[in-house]
Amino acid sequence: MKLDTVAGKKVLITGAAMGLGKLFAEQAVREGAAAVVLWDVNETALRATAAELTAASGAIHTYTVDISDRDAVAAAAESVRVDVGDIDVLVNNAGIVRGNTYFWETKDRDDIERTMAINALAPMYVTLEFLPAMVAGTTEARVLTIASSAGLVHNPRMSVYAASKWAALGWSDSVRIELGQAGHDHVKVTTFCPTYIDTGMFEGATGFWFTPILDRHTVVATAWAEMKKGTPVVIMPWTSRLNKVLSGVLPLKLRDLFLNTVGVYHSMDEFKGRK
C-alpha cells in the first residue's frame, strides 16, 4: 500500500542535524508531518537545524543521542514515547565512514566497534524501540534504512564499512520479509543503497565508470519517494545494480577484473572523509 504523504504522521530521523538527515527532516516538515523528531549526537548542530525547521513548523522535537550506545537509544526512545507518542515513519539515517587504509593497517580498534555499532547495530536497536507499535497499529507505517552500495559488492580500503553495510542490508530486508510473512502489510521496510554522496562524508572518494558522486538532494528525493511507495530495496545509480548483477554471475577472477577496471576497487584510494 502506498503512502502518499507523511502529513499527520510522526517521523523520527537519526543523524538529523546535517547532511541527508537534515534534508529528510525538511521534507517531512514540507509535507506537514504532525511531529518531526530529530536525533543526533552533535548537540550544537542539532540545535541549529531545529531552529531552522521550527521557523516552518512548530512540531520539532530534538534529542541528543549517541546511537552507538544501546542504553542511550532505549532512554531516548522512552522519552519520545512520553513526549510525542508512537512513531509512524522511522528513518535510520545516521552513519559513519572509515576508509583509505588496508584492514591490517587499522590503528584504532575502537574504529571497528564504533563503525559496526553505528552502521549495523544502531538501526536494529532503534527500530526495535518503535517497530512493535507500528506492527500493533493499523495505519500505514514505514521504516527507511540508509545502507550503501558498499553492502552489495566488495570494496578494498573500506572493509569494515562494507561489513557494516552488508549487515544493515541483510538485517533490514530480512525484517521486510518477516513483516510480510506475519501479515503486517501496513508496515513497509525500505533499504536504500546509494554510492558515494556529496555530503562531505566521502570527501576524497572518487566516482567510477558512469558513476559520479551523487547529489544529496536527488538521493533524498529518491529515497523518500520510494519509502512512501514501500519499495523493498532501492539501489542508486543504475551502475550499482549492474555491478551487483555481474558480481553474482561472473567467475570470481572476472568479477574482480571488471570491478577493478571500472574503478570500484580504487574509489577509496584518496579518501579523506569529514573530520
Residues designated catalytic? 161
C-alpha 168: how far from its chain's center? 9
Element (H, E) at 82: helix 70-83
Q: How far apart are CA 27 and CA 13, in angstroms?
A: 11
d(CA 135, CA 195): 31
Rounded Cα gap, residues 185 and 35, in angstroms: 23
Task: Tell how strand 141-146 and strand 89-92 pair up.
Answer: parallel
What is the residue-wise DSSP string for 119-150?
A: IIIHHHHHHHHHHHHHHHS-S-EEEEEE--GG
| Rg, the chain, Cα only | 18
**Burial label, 130 (beta-carbon count in 10 A; 0-12, 13-18, 19+):** buried
- What's the CA dihedral at 115, 118, 124, 126 to 10 degrees? 170
Give the Cβ contact number of residue 261 at 10 Å: 12
